[in-house]
Amino acid sequence: MSAITAERSVPPAAATPETSSASERMPRSSIALSAGLHIGLFLLILLGLPNLFRHKPAEDMPIAVDLVTIAPETRATQLNPFRPKPETKPEAPIAPPAPKPELKPEPPVPAPPPSAAAPPPAPVPPQPKPEVKPTPPPPPPKPVEAQAPTPPPPEPKPRHEPQRVVHHVPRAEPKKTDPAAFEKMLKNLQAKKPETVEARKPETPDSKKPSPAAFDSLLKNLTREQVAEADDAPPRPHKLAAAAAPSSQPKAPLGAQLTASEMDLLREQLYHCWNVPIGARDARDLVIEIRVSVGPDGVAQQAKIIDDGRVDPIFRAAAESARRAFFAPECTPLRVPAGKYELWKDLVVSFSPKDLL
């Protein structure tokens, strides 16, 4: 209603100067003009308003219909739960390989405590080498890799499994526990420091060994792609097998598409996981594509930057920020519809901060 009164008050005020100046010369025509204008305005207000009201419901309708049709499909697919299987299966392969080979690399490590950190991870050749040159502070930087050619020949085999150990151990837990519960746990950890440290050590031999070993193995492969393949190759058969049985039913009815609401759910989740590098120059124009391999449990197993050859440090930093999104706690696991593993096991996500900047 307030809109109506506002519109009425404006036109007469604008009309008056015209009529007053014209009335001295041609009174009749000006009266007619004024009357015509008034009638026109009156009609406009009368006819224009109902239109405004009509439009809104018409626009809302299709959206509502979409949501209704999509919902039942997503529910139907959830009837086949994957969770029990992926959780049990990954655990099984973890156990056997871990213990033996990794105990050996450790002994040489402890002797020099600082350099111990060095040996396992050292040789990531592609990145450090170029960087070492540019940084010439008074103390000459040396590539860390150079020193660390030390350790392990036995690692290649355990590689795959240790890595998965690392992936699964933490992610299984978040599923069960809330953030609040997790905080409590942290507090406990702080309170009982000595105990927990000791408690961890017996357990961690398994997880300790895998990570350095796995890392060594990563480093041996010169390119990230090679590492990726090595990682994926063994687990895939298991996971596909795991996925195949439960997904056989839901796959069929839905065809080869995720519904709009399912896509939105995933997109929305990723919004909360991607920490955008907004201060970067020309950040608005950045477009980063990440190819993600997702396990049947919805946990990203591997995220690879497409167009990784670019050397632009800003692109690389932004691309890594996008890749990190898939490993953020809020995005493990990804909110993907349970019965459509075949559709989302291999995702390509394009990140661009254009709506943010």
Question: Within 338-357, which residues bind other proteins (CB under 8 A)?
Answer: 342-344, 346-356
Q: Residue 149: helix, strand or coil by DSSP?
A: coil
* Least spacing, CB of residue 341 vs other proteins, in Å: 10
89 versus 168: smaller Cβ distance to other proteins: 168
Is residue 210 within 8 A of residue 102, CB to CB? The reply is yes
299 contacts other proteins (rule: CB under 8 A):
no
82 versus 315: smaller Cβ distance to other proteins: 315
How far is Cα 188 from Cα 166, in angstroms, rounded to an integer?
Answer: 22
* Least spacing, CB of residue 355 vs other proteins, in Å: 4
* Least spacing, CB of residue 7 vs other proteins, in Å: 32
The binder of other proteins chosen from 242, 270, 299, 338 (CB under 8 A): 270
* Least spacing, CB of residue 76 vs other proteins, in Å: 19
82 versus 274: smaller Cβ distance to other proteins: 274
The binder of other proteins chosen from 86, 101, 120, 298 (CB under 8 A): 120
313 contacts other proteins (rule: CB under 8 A):
yes
What's the CA angle centered on 309, arms 306 and 315, to 5 degrees? 75
How far is Cα 96 from Cα 242, in angstroms, rounded to an integer?
Answer: 19
The binder of other proteins chosen from 37, 70, 124, 240 (CB under 8 A): 124
- Give CA torsion, residues 36, 38, 43, 48, to 10 deg: 130
75 versus 200: smaller Cβ distance to other proteins: 200
274 contacts other proteins (rule: CB under 8 A):
yes
* Least spacing, CB of residue 292 vs other proteins, in Å: 10
> Which CB contacts under 8 angstroms, 24+ apart, belong to 255-263?
256/343, 257/343, 258/337, 258/340, 258/343, 258/344, 259/70, 259/73, 259/74, 259/337, 260/66, 260/70, 261/67, 261/70, 261/71, 261/74, 262/70, 262/74, 262/336, 262/337, 262/340
How far is Cα 110 from Cα 162, in angstroms, rounded to an integer?
Answer: 20
106 contacts other proteins (rule: CB under 8 A):
yes
* Least spacing, CB of residue 4 vs other proteins, in Å: 36
* Least spacing, CB of residue 239 vs other proteins, in Å: 16
Question: For residue 210, with 0-12 CB atoms within 10 Å meaning exposed, 13-18 middle and 19 or more buried, which class applies?
Answer: buried
23 versus 115: smaller Cβ distance to other proteins: 115
Strand pairing report for 300-305 and 346-351: unpaired
Residue labelled with tokens 């961890």: 200
Site for other proteins in 156-185 (CB under 8 A): 163, 165-166, 169-170, 173
18 versus 229: smaller Cβ distance to other proteins: 229
15 versus 273: smaller Cβ distance to other proteins: 273
